[in-house]
Amino acid sequence: MTKVFIGAAAGFAGDRSDAGVPVVNALAAQTGPRFLMFETLAERTLALCQLERRQNSQRGYSPALERMLPPVLARCLESGIRIVGNFGAANPAAAARRIAEIAGALGLRAPRIAIVEGDDIADKLSTTELAAREVGGESLARLPKIISANVYLGAQPMARALDQDADVVVTGRVADSVLALGPLLHAFKWRADDWDRLGAGTLAGHLLECGAQVTGGYFADPGYKDVPDLAEVGYPIAEIDETGEVVITKPAGTGGRVDRLTVVEQLLYEIHDPSAYLAPDVVLDLTDVEVTEIGRDRVRVSGARGRPAPETLKATVCFDGGLLGEAEISYAGPNASARAQLAAEVVRQRLRKRLPHLNVRVDAIGIQSVWGASGSSPDLHGEQANDVRLRFAAQSADAAQIEMLLDEVEALYCSGPAGGAGVRRRITPRLASTSCLIERRYAEPRVTMLGAPA
Amino acid sequence: MMRTVRLQEIANARTGDKGDRLNLVLVCRDPAHYTAVAAQVTAERVAQVFAARKPTRVVRYDLPKLAAFNFVLDDVLEGGVNASLGLDGHGKSLSFLVLDMPVLISAEASRFACGAQNKSI
């Protein structure tokens, strides 16, 4: 029975540049349809790319492709391993041109590059119309300045691109799982209403889309959950047969582990209702999925079911989210906790008078910095820590308010408690995002080959 | 014979985010612990663990074939990665908040439990 091999070389834009190399080497040793997928588009990444495109019409793709493709492109083209990635971001056509340039600079043959577009709906619906379709919030009702609005496209356009013999398929926003389902639809010619198989392919994509998170990455807890050679963790390869049975494995000789525990942890990651995981092509039901260890670093995942696709498509809408201001200062040595406590009180007291409406968060890094609730300060009374780094944070659309907070923290140098040290301050523009459900008619996916007449 | 262990000794967890909603995967390292975990790590108890974040809704989905649970906690990420003033707007560290819970297990079923003396996985 034909098997399709899909390797994952990136689970996000910040992933390792060299992750794909062992995966491609393992795929090159196999025969049959083989694909390498790159997932590089977190929710807000696309909005950042959209901002870049506005500055320069040749940019707006994920810069990750610049460092992730060169290590693997030659071997993929030589071995017939086809590359699929959503690194097109806000400008898939520009990404395609850039990939052609990279291939040229490496002295490779010109790859056939397909471009999948049509996810951008920012010009099709007004902010008011988007607001009427917002789910789980009412942030668009305030009519913020929209930066990007993109629906998650399904797998059919990618399958069509592969049907046209593309060596590389570049997309903008597609559902992450489409990076596997698209190649499977192309290879197996599954029908668009073969729900169980579409479910299985979506499941394969879901397991692959976070890269090493299924092979021992983001898993280790020394003494409880040990992972061999985590520094060289191998990225996953899924082997899928035409019935939709999935085997997850990783390249021989790499670090990491693939077993029931690593697979189940990723299987449910970022899932809401396991009986109804909504994807553009199918509603995936995970409730009868079974995960079986069938060999060393080989796990079979079977039993996925599917139901008819949702009537609407999800869209992520990004808009201006004001400014995040952060400032930090350290206290060390005897009585450090008490001096840090006093510093926090000084800043709070001064801001109460000067900016009474600004919500300020204070953390004591090393004591309480990630789990506390905003609005309150950590209680350091009785703490004996002798190395405390205080962090102050606030958000506002008004830069002057943020500056005032950061100035107050910096002023602790001369007028706060003794020994305050190492102030760092930073202002970051924020992007906010929300989700909308959009009628399918607004998405007009189209596939073009780079260099073909439009 | 029963004994109390930290959840970390018998289960694995991973958290993920969607906006202001947290998903927490809990997997029994030994499927034999599934029933005990199901009885004790209830949605109510997880809601208590997250009380400081004032969850508006906590739902537990049970996956007996995987010896796992999926918890969905609404409005616990202070607006999520877009709006939280905290360092962990994704809630990625929150898996260990739950793994710190004590659970009662039978001594026989605890042979797979990890700890300083027994590091088997």
Q: Is residue A146 part of a domain?
A: no
ipTM at complex level: 0.94
Pair A329, A379 in one domain: yes
Cβ-Cβ contacts under 8 Å, B84 against chain A: 374
Tens of pLDDT, residues A255-285: 999 999 999 999 999 999 999 999 999 999 9
Please determine, for residue A372, whether its predicted confidence score (pLDDT) is greater than 50: yes
Pair A97, A25 in one domain: yes
Mean pLDDT of chain A: 96
Tens of pLDDT, residues B7-58: 999 999 999 998 899 999 999 999 999 999 999 999 999 999 999 999 999 9
Pair A64, A161 in one domain: yes
Q: Which one of B33, B61, B82, B117 makes the best mutation probe of the A interface by having the most chain A beta carbons within 10 Å? A: B82
Structure tokens that stand for A181 in this block: 């389902």
Task: Tell whether B57 is within 8 A of chain A (Cβ).
Answer: no
Mean pLDDT of the region A234-256: 98
Distance from CA of B1 to the nearest CA of A (A): 23
What is the pLDDT, as a whole number, of residue A116? 98
Structure tokens that stand for A3 in this block: 């098997």
Cβ-Cβ contacts under 8 Å, A432 against chain B: 82-83
Within 71-90 of B, beta carbons closer than 8 Å to A belong to: 72, 78, 81-88
Q: Are B27 and A264 in contact (CB < 8 Å)?
A: yes
Q: Is residue A148 part of a domain?
A: no
Pair A164, A208 in one domain: yes
Q: Are B86 and A361 in contact (CB < 8 Å)?
A: yes
What is the pLDDT, as a whole number, of residue A99? 98
Please determine, for residue A374, whether its predicted confidence score (pLDDT) is greater than 80: no
Q: Is residue A46 part of a domain?
A: yes
Cα nearest neighbour of A323 on chain B: B83
Cα nearest neighbour of B15 on chain A: A269
Mean pLDDT of the region A338-353: 96
Cβ-Cβ contacts under 8 Å, A303 against chain B: 65
Of A268, A394, A430, the CB nearest to B82: A430
Tens of pLDDT, residues B52-94: 999 999 999 999 999 999 999 999 998 888 889 999 999 999 9
Distance from CA of B91 to the nearest CA of A (A): 8
Q: Are B8 and A224 in contact (CB < 8 Å)?
A: yes
How many domains in chain A?
A: 2
- Contact between A216 and A256 under an 8 Å Cβ cutoff? The reply is yes
Q: Are B82 and A321 in contact (CB < 8 Å)?
A: yes
The crossing angle, in degrees rounded to 10, of helices A178-188 and A156-163 is 50
Within 206-235 of A, beta carbons closer than 8 Å to B belong to: 218-219, 221, 223-226
Instruction: Tell me what percent of the residues of chain A surpass a pLDDT of 70.
Output: 99
Distance from CA of A28 to the nearest CA of B (A): 33
What is the pLDDT, as a whole number, of residue A453? 67
Please determine, for residue B100, whether its predicted confidence score (pLDDT) is greater than 80: yes
Please determine, for residue B113, whether its predicted confidence score (pLDDT) is greater than 80: no
What is the pLDDT, as a whole number, of residue B96? 97
Tens of pLDDT, residues A406-445: 999 999 999 999 999 999 999 999 999 999 999 999 999 9
Please determine, for residue A371, whether its predicted confidence score (pLDDT) is greater than 60: yes
What is the pLDDT, as a whole number, of residue B79? 85
Cβ-Cβ contacts under 8 Å, A394 against chain B: 85
Q: Is residue A454 part of a domain?
A: no
Domain range enclosing A25: 3-118+153-310
What is the pLDDT, as a whole number, of residue B116? 37
For A127, phi and psi rounded to 5 degrees? Answer: -60, -40
Distance from CA of A164 to the nearest CA of B (A): 35
Pair A327, A296 in one domain: no
Please determine, for residue B118, whether its predicted confidence score (pLDDT) is greater than 60: no
Q: Are A226 and B9 in contact (CB < 8 Å)?
A: no
Pair A250, A375 in one domain: no
> How confident is residue B109, by pLDDT bands cut at 50, 70 and 90?
low
Mean pLDDT of the region A240-245: 97
> How confident is residue A373, by pLDDT bands cut at 50, 70 and 90?
confident
What is the enclosing helix (H) or strand (E) of A401?
Answer: helix A399-410
Please determine, for residue B119, whether its predicted confidence score (pLDDT) is greater than 50: no
Cβ-Cβ contacts under 8 Å, A369 against chain B: 86-87
Of A44, A265, A430, the CB nearest to B12: A265
- Among A30-34, A291-295, A365-369, B6-10, the minimum mean pLDDT is found in A365-369
Tens of pLDDT, residues A59-95: 999 999 999 999 999 999 999 999 999 999 999 999 9
- Contact between A302 and A203 under an 8 Å Cβ cutoff? The reply is no
Q: Are B65 and A434 in contact (CB < 8 Å)?
A: no
Domains of chain B, each with CATH number or no CATH: 9-76 (3.30.70.260)
Q: What is the spatial distance between Cα A52 and Cα A253, in angstroms, rounded to a whole number? A: 40
Task: Tell whether B65 is within 8 A of chain A (Cβ).
Answer: yes
Q: Report the SS3 class of residue A196.
A: helix
Q: Is residue A451 part of a domain?
A: no
Pair A327, A383 in one domain: yes
Q: Is residue A441 part of a domain?
A: no
Distance from CA of B111 to the nearest CA of A (A): 13
Structure tokens that stand for B1 in this block: 């014979």
Q: Which of A254, A280, A310 corresponds to the end of one domain?
A: A310
Cβ-Cβ contacts under 8 Å, B9 against chain A: 224
Over its C-alpha atoms, chain A yields an Rg (Å, rounded) of 25
Pair A184, A280 in one domain: yes
Pair A16, A102 in one domain: yes
Q: What is the spatial distance between Cα B42 and Cα A42, in angstroms, rounded to a whole number? A: 31
Please determine, for residue A166, whether its predicted confidence score (pLDDT) is greater than 80: yes
Q: What is the spatial distance between Cα B6 and Cα B28, in angstroms, rounded to a whole number? A: 13
Pair A411, A369 in one domain: yes
Mean pLDDT of the region A337-344: 96
* Pairing verdict, β A34-38 and A146-151: unpaired
Pair A293, A339 in one domain: no
> How confident is residue B120, by pLDDT bands cut at 50, 70 and 90?
very low
Distance from CA of A137 to the nearest CA of B (A): 10
What is the pLDDT, as a whole number, of residue A165? 97
Pair A299, A356 in one domain: no
Mean pLDDT of the region A227-246: 98
> How confident is residue A217, by pLDDT bands cut at 50, 70 and 90?
very high
The CATH number assigned to the domain holding A360 equals 3.30.70.600
Q: Report the SS3 class of residue A88.
A: coil
